[in-house]
Every structure is written in structure tokens, then in C-alpha cells.
Amino acid sequence: MTMAPLLVAIQQAPVQVPPPSELALRYFRSGNVLWVVNTLLGLGIPAAILFSGWSARLRSLARRIGRGWAGTVAAYVVLYITLTGLITLPLAYYQEFVREHAYGLSHQAFSKWASDTITAWLVGCIIGVLLALLAYAILRRSPGRWWLWTGLAALPVLVVIVLVTPVWIAPLFNRFTPLQDKVLERRVLAEAARAGISGSRVYQVNKSVDTEKVNAYVNGFGGTKRIVLYDTILKKLTPNELMFVLGHEMGHYVLRHLVLSIAFSWLLIVLTLWLVHRGSRALIARWHGRFGFDALADPASVPLLLLLAGVVSLAGAPVENAFSRHLEHEADRFGLELTRDNHAAATAFVKLQSENLAVPYPGLLYELWRGSHPSLGERVEFANSYRPWESGRPLRYGNRIAAR
């Protein structure tokens, strides 16, 4: 057999889903344990601060520091974020630093982890104070309809966050540069033009200083939209595999997934706020003596709001994850229709499984509560089987893709 037919045969052959390594299984199991621990802490810490009366004492301290309503809210939020951050700091150190090094997924210097942690605390305090000032101003003015007005205000806030994050926040943690491989960049821009995307920007980010995992993503909106590739994925995937990954990311943009995600998140926020409103009234009526406040407009209610929002979020996670998996699946479909390189798509997913120590079929419970993406095993199988162009069937997104 000559080389050309052999290459064709390899391209047509289905890519097998490899079994997970023993290291990947250990990483998966310990990750599930950590998810449970984090979930319990996410609910248990605000519950403890609330029912112990610590929140009321924090509010009293914040009043002495802030000297006024806005100052009190701001001081309380900073105190609360600092307190909870210190409580969870040992777990964060183990989860983000010790564990990733132990599994060979990171060579990050401790100084980088520490500086990122401090930066995240500062960013969290600033954003937390701004959001709290908005929410509590609405609570003071409209204690009965606060959930509705806060929900309406959440939509422009979400849009601002999407606009600001890629330009101002993400670069605080890593260095972003234009894609340095100009041959690949020309290829990317040509595919973007086929997908009807103008003014595309493709960046690489030096994530190798933090992790050995491979990833790519799309974020931003309008003038801030960008496709971002980890420098690790540039090293570990072939050009054809990268083109599929980028085709997937282009799919998110072309199919308006960012807009859909914002709209879906906003609806969830409004529903969550309404449920929090209903639940908080009953809890304050029953436990106000222990809480140390009798109105939700009191800044000491922060842990009550977070506790109830956490419960609602946990209950709604299967719906949110199912929506996310649908968007990711359709982006995979778009990437396949754009590149028509099933073999590269499947091998890219296999490499993602290997490099990220993933389990190809993590199970139903994982899918419901943690699975924001289809399992890698399912994605490999879809990449192997989805070939409508070979049988003359119409492409789902054929009208969005120009011919080569």
C-alpha cells in the first residue's frame, strides 16, 4: 500500500477511546471528594457564620470602620471575604498547588500561586463591594420587590463583566500575546473568514507557568471578543487538531453561545433571587434572634443570601450543566462541519483526556452536577461518526460556512 492510501485509511478509521490511566482514576476520585468538601464548605461556612451570630458582630465592627451606610456595607464585604478566604486557605493551597504538583499537572512556583491568590482576593473584594452596594441599595428602597429590581440590574452587570474580564481581569494573572505562529494564524483567519467572522483576534496565554493542562476558550463580546489558546495546547496538539479546537471556539461565536449563556444565566439569577427572597423571609422570622438582624437590608444578611443562593444553585446545577453541554456539543458539530477532519477532532479529544488526566466516561452523577461539557468519550464517538457530507446529507450549519 502506498503512503497516500494508507493515510486515507488512517483518516477514515475510528479513533478508539483509551481507558483512563490509574493516575487519572485517582485524580478523578480525589476530585470528586474535593467537590463534595467544597460544596459542604460553601454551604457550611455561611451557615456557621450566620447561626453563630458572627455575622452580626462583623456588621457591628464594619459600622465602626465604615462610619456610614455605604462604608458599613463595603467594610462588611471585605471582612467577610477575608474571613472566609482565611478559613478555606489551607484547602485552596492543597487543591490548587500541592495536589496539582503531586499529579504532575503543574510546575507553578509558590510565589506565583501566592501572588495569584492575593490578586484574586483584591479583585473579589472590589467586585464584591460594588455588587453589594448595588444589591443593598435596592434592598433598602424596595424590600418587597428587591429580587425583581436586582434581577433586572443583573443583566447589564453580566454584560459588563463579560466585556471587562478578558481585557482587564484575565491579564492580571497571565500574559496574553497575539498568536506567535503566523502560519497557524493565517490558517485560523482563513477559517474564521469561512465562518463569517470578521475582525477575529487569536491570542495565546502563558498558562504553562501555572499548569500542564491543555485548554482553549472564547470570551468577550464585540470589540473584546477573542479566541485564547493555552501555550500548552500549542505544544501538545498538531496543527490539524488545533484547527478543530479553534473551529469549535469559532462555533461558540457564530452560534451566539455567549449571548445565549448570558440570557440563560440571567434567567437563573432572577429565579434564584426570587427563591432566596421567599426563603429568607421565613428564616428571618424564625431565627432573627439568633441571626442578630431582623431585616434582609441589614448587611449582616450576606451569609443568609449566600447560603440560600448556594442551595438553589446546587439544586439547579443539573439544568445549568445540561444547557452548557448542549452548547458545547453544537460547537463540536460546527467545528466538524467547518474542518471536516474527524480524525483530528477525535485525536484532539484523546489528547485532552491524556494531558488533563480525565476519565472518558465519568458517570451519571458527575454529569448531572459537574459535567459542563459532554464526556470526552462521547465527544470522540461523535467525532468518529458525524460525517453527513460523505452521504450527501445537509449540514446543520452549512448556511453559515463558506466553501473552501
- Contact assessment for residue 172 and residue 160, using Cβ atoms and an 8 Å cutoff: no
Q: How far apart are CA 336 and CA 346, in angstroms?
A: 10
* Contacts for 109 with CB less than 8 Å, ≥ 6 apart: 209
Sheet with 176-178: strands ordered across:
176-178, 202-205, 226-230, 216-219
Q: Is 378 a catalytic residue?
A: no
SS3 at position 374: coil
CB pairs under 8 A, 24+ apart, for 117-124? 117/89, 117/92, 119/172, 119/173, 120/173, 121/81, 121/82, 121/85, 123/169, 123/172, 124/81, 124/85
Tell me how far CA of residue 367 lies from CA of 173, 174, 191, 219, 399, in angstroms. Answer: 30, 30, 32, 24, 32
**Residue of 191, 212, 241, 249 marked active site:** 249
Dig out the grid coordinates for 67 from the structure. 462610619
Whether 389 contacts 340, CB under 8 Å? yes
Look-up: residue for cell 445540561?
322
Comparing CA positions, the residue from 203, 245, 216 lying closest to residue 335 is: 245
Cα–Cα distance, 31 to 234 (Å, whole number): 26
Active site residues: 249
